[in-house]
């Protein structure tokens, strides 16, 4: 929504956002509804109205409440996990790097794992592709890279975007977002790209994280201009550089935004139902797209 000149939001933006009281250096526009101290996504605990900081939640979870009622939760309603807040992000990054090393050791893996609709592989000497029953390629291609610059850019994006999202959504919801975004990118590339054209990389999932970041920042009333500029720059590269699967980028971006919207805007009383339903609908759309394309190629 547009703000009137001189409004409080514009005045705060002009002076700069405050830093989270538990994580100095992290700017935030959200404050705890009880103590009014600024809190970042990692510290936000969903409350009946607004968000509270973990310290206030612990201090207010006395008698008369169940053990789960006062348990700190993320903006998406997931319990705040103990330990490393970037655990899933690091695991995903490690899988990508491990597959990249395996490809360096055996380049034939590219022909066995990349996303191709239906084609005859010269390396393998046989017909390959998703339409030939190799549906696993929709997943394996998400972790496959050949060039060092390709994996470097994608892993930087995963690290920058994934960490804050994992803290804000919780591990399970974050993993669902990543995997479904990547699958949506694979599905759209499978549907629209030539069947003999190979595709690989985590870009679809990374674009999904970018779309989710925009939704999350809008939900928390953050300044969207920096992330929108990043999106515009990435879309410019997508449609101007050669050899880029724009289908995977757009598929991941749309899926990530839709999933994130369901995760962070679900009403508290029906949160699990709405979140599960959103993910299930996206998965159903992916399956329908894959089946439709397979029928057209066989």
Active-site annotation, residues: 203, 249
Could you give the C-alpha distances from 160 to 6, 41, 182, 272, in angstroms and in order? 33, 14, 17, 27
Contact 14, 4 (CB under 8 A): no
* Tokens of residue 295, six digits: 């029928």
* Tokens of residue 71, six digits: 């348990």
CA–CA–CA angle 126, 130, 135 (5° rounding): 120
Instruction: Please name every residue paired with 27 in a beta bridge, in sequence order, or none if there are none.
Output: 19
Nearest CA-CA partner of 282 in 246, 255, 253? 255
């Amino acid at each position: 929504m547009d703000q009137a000149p001189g409004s409080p939001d514009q005045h705060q933006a002009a002076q700069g956002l405050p830093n989270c009281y538990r994580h100095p250096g992290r700017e935030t526009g959200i404050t705890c509804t009880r103590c009014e101290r600024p809190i970042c996504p990692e510290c936000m605990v969903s409350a009946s109205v607004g968000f509270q900081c973990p310290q206030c939640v612990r201090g207010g979870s006395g008698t008369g409440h169940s053990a789960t009622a006062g348990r700190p939760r993320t903006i998406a309603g997931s319990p705040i996990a103990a330990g490393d807040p970037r655990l899933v992000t690091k695991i995903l990054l490690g899988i990508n790097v491990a597959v990249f090393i395996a490809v360096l050791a055996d380049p034939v893996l590219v022909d066995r794992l990349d996303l191709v609709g239906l084609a005859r592989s010269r390396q393998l000497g046989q017909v390959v592709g998703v339409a030939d029953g190799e549906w696993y390629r929709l997943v394996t291609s998400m972790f496959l890279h050949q060039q060092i610059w390709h994996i470097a850019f994608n892993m930087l994006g995963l690290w920058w975007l994934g960490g804050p999202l994992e803290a804000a959504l919780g591990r399970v919801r974050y993993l669902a977002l990543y995997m479904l975004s990547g699958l949506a990118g694979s599905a759209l590339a499978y549907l629209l790209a030539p069947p003999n054209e190979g595709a690989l990389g985590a870009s679809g999932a990374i674009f999904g994280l970018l779309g989710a970041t925009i939704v999350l920042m809008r939900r928390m009333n953050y300044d969207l201009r920096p992330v929108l500029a990043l999106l515009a720059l990435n879309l410019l590269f997508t449609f101007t550089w050669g050899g880029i699967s724009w289908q995977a980028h757009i598929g991941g971006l749309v899926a990530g935004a839709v999933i994130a919207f369901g995760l962070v805007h679900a009403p508290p009383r029906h949160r699990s139902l709405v979140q599960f339903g959103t993910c299930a609908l996206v998965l159903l759309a992916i399956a329908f797209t894959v089946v439709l394309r397979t029928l057209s190629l066989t």
